[in-house]
């Protein structure tokens, strides 16, 4: 039997609610809504700027869109440096959800110990940690296929250097942030780097992108840089230099090849070298661009410069007789010697036989000021004006401080210092009919405008002497090559040790040009500390000159100016140093 309830008979339900109570409740609700409305107004209108800033700080992010770095090309358009996509792997440690087997596979793909990977992921308070920067694209795809939670990838670029160690000292390299650190990569970093773009996004508290906000700014790609370098000439020069350094059991070596018409650097090689993509455990010996950064006393390679300035000053002529007997000369308490007593020589003979006594007697016909002016005009004691980092000035003291013995020793290459690059550059005045021309690392098709230092007749006269020096009876017959006439000067200098000179350490040089009547290239070679007993420039450096000249002229399509004959091996005259 159902039981009915009479609500009206319940004293609790039948009691009347006071009016003030309902009004209080309604007023409370209205006040709450008013508070919410006020707060909303404050957030949306009055304090909007503050909350917008706080929101942006906490959740809005501007992501950088990396620009693709420009390429470095040789004069023929062959790649010397280029960028490839290389994703970087990162993680949010607290989000990583993977078992030991999965982490082991990730470590294997990244070629890193599992313990190192675990260490990177150990700190769960971090919301971002790099696992490995710039991995190869196929590896990145395999990592993505693992589907590991909390492991992410960021698109980046990595540099590749197809020519490897051959052109390393010219091209240089970038760091992991894709900024140039050495060579052309550093010298033209601004042009190569371009300008990164940007993308504004909203991220959640776990760092995940929720949505894009605002307009995306696309990156401005870097510009390509085309060098004057010929990668084929560079490769051959490096190869022959490396072989010579190894054969002579030398410490190091350098080669510079210049175009005598445009002033372009066709090759600049050093050994030892390095592979730009594998820079672990590198030493300064490998990284140093010796041809530009290292200075030496050039020895007898300075004698043609001494003769050229004497000819220009009108103090001697090519057939002027110079007495060099008995093969030694005392000056200021020092004795300057030749390797032999050559007796009376013509000025041409002084260069051919490389007589120190003859060179100093020619220098004595000029004032220190005259010599200093010419050295300066040829670029000695000044930083080379070239688009390349690290070029040094060398040493050339003010002429007023020269003592007579110092003027004498400078005539045959002691008492001043220069880089191999400076030496090669100064010889453009002899090859370019008396005009020294600017040099460049960038491709140029226009003839260079030179500055006159010597007359064309005097430059040609010295070229004839260089041809004699590189012929039988001179100090550099091993510089002879098949099909092309050559001229050049060998040099051998004791290495400085502290304030003195080492008796058993030498630097061997050979600097010259070809074809001799109308020079097309200048080649300068330096071998540092040959230790197999063959340390004269005419033996250690001249053969490298010969091989580089022949191959370079052939690659350039220069017609032979001599009847092609089998090369004859000559015994060089020992040079004085």
Q: Could you list the active site residues? A: 300
- Helix (H) / strand (E) containing 168: helix 168-171
CA distance 512 to 520: 11
CA distance 314 to 77: 48
End-to-end CA gap in the chain: 136
Find the Cα–Cα–Cα–Cα dihedral 331, 296, 373, 462, rounded to 10°. 90
CA distance 379 to 377: 5
CA distance 476 to 549: 14
Q: Taking the CB of residue 98, how many other CB atoms lie within 10 A of it? A: 18
Burial of residue 507 (number of CB atoms within 10 Å: 0-12, 13-18, 19+): buried
Burial of residue 186 (number of CB atoms within 10 Å: 0-12, 13-18, 19+): middle
Strands 225-226 and 72-73: parallel
451: closest CA among 377, 376, 372? 377
Structure tokens that stand for 118 in this block: 């675990």
Q: How many residues does the chain have?
A: 577
Q: Taking the CB of residue 158, how many other CB atoms lie within 10 A of it? A: 21
Structure tokens that stand for 320 in this block: 């002027």
Across 92-184, where does the E strand assignment appear?
129-132, 151-154, 157-160
C-alpha dist (Å) from residue 177 to 67, 110, 131, 133, 134 = 12, 19, 15, 9, 10
Structure tokens that stand for 246 in this block: 């190894």
CA distance 479 to 483: 12
Q: Taking the CB of residue 345, how many other CB atoms lie within 10 A of it? A: 22
The 3-state DSSP class for residue 185 equals helix
Task: Render 252-319 in DSSP notation, one character per residue.
Answer: EEEEEEEETTT-BEEEEEEES--BTTB-TT--HHHH--HHHH--B--GGGGHHHHHHHHHHTTS--TT
CA distance 313 to 485: 28
- The answer to whether 170 and 188 have CB atoms below 8 angstroms apart is no
CA–CA–CA angle 250, 244, 470 (5° rounding): 110
- The answer to whether 168 and 161 have CB atoms below 8 angstroms apart is yes
CB proximity list for 85: less than 8 A, separation 6 or greater: 137, 155, 156, 157, 158
């Amino acid at each position: 039997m159902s039981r009915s309830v009479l609500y009206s008979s319940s004293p609790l339900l039948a009691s009347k609610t006071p009016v003030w109570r309902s009004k209080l409740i309604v007023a409370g609700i209205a006040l709450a809504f008013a508070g919410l409305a006020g707060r909303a107004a404050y957030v949306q209108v009055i304090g909007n700027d503050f909350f917008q800033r706080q929101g942006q700080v906490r959740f809005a992010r501007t992501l950088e869109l990396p620009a693709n770095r420009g390429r470095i090309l040789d004069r023929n358009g062959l790649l010397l440096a280029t960028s490839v996509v290389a994703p970087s792997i990162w993680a949010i440690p607290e989000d990583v959800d993977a078992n030991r087997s999965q982490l082991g596979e990730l470590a294997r793909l990244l070629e890193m110990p599992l313990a190192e990977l675990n260490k990177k992921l150990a700190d769960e308070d971090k919301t971002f940690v790099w696992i490995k920067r710039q991995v190869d694209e196929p590896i990145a795809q395999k990592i993505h296929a693992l589907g590991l939670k909390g492991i992410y990838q960021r698109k980046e670029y990595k540099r590749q250097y197809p020519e490897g160690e051959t052109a390393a000292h010219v091209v240089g390299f970038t760091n992991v942030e894709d900024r140039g650190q050495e060579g052309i990569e550093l010298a033209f970093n601004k042009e190569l780097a371009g300008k990164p773009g940007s993308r504004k996004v909203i991220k959640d508290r776990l760092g995940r992108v929720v949505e894009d906000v605002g307009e995306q700014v696309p990156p401005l790609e870097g510009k390509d840089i085309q060098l004057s370098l010929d990668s084929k000439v560079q490769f051959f020069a490096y190869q022959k230099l490396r072989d010579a350094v190894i054969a002579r059991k030398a410490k190091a070596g350098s080669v510079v090849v210049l175009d005598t018409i445009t002033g372009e650097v066709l090759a600049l090689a050093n050994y030892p070298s390095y592979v730009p993509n594998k820079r672990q455990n590198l030493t300064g010996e490998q990284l140093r661009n010796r041809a530009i950064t290292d200075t030496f006393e050039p020895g007898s390679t300075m004698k043609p410069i001494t003769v050229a300035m004497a000819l220009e000053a009108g103090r001697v002529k090519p057939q002027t007789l110079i007495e060099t007997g008995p093969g030694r000369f005392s000056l200021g308490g020092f004795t300057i010697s030749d390797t032999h007593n050559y007796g009376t020589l013509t000025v041409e003979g002084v260069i051919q036989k490389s007589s120190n006594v003859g060179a100093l007697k020619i220098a004595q016909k000029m004032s220190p000021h005259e010599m200093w002016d010419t050295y300066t005009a040829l670029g000695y004691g000044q930083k080379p004006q070239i688009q390349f980092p690290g070029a040094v000035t060398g040493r050339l003291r003010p002429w007023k401080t020269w003592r007579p013995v110092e003027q004498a020793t400078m005539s045959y290459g002691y008492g001043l210092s220069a880089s191999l690059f400076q030496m090669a550059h100064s010889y453009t005045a002899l090859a370019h009919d008396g005009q020294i021309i600017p040099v460049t690392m960038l491709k140029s098709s226009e003839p260079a405008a030179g500055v006159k230092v010597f007359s064309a007749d005097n430059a040609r006269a010295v070229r004839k002497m260089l041809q004699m020096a590189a012929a039988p009876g001179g100090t550099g017959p091993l510089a002879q090559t098949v099909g092309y006439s050559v001229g050049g000067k060998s040099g051998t200098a004791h290495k400085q040790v502290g304030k003195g000179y080492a008796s058993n350490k030498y630097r061997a040089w050979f600097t010259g040009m070809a074809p001799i009547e109308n020079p097309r290239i200048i080649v300068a070679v330096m071998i540092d500390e040959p230790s197999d007993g063959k340390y004269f420039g005419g033996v250690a450096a001249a053969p490298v000159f010969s091989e580089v000249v022949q191959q370079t002229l052939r690659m350039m399509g220069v017609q032979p100016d001599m009847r092609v004959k089998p090369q004859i091996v000559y015994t060089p005259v020992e040079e004085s140093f």
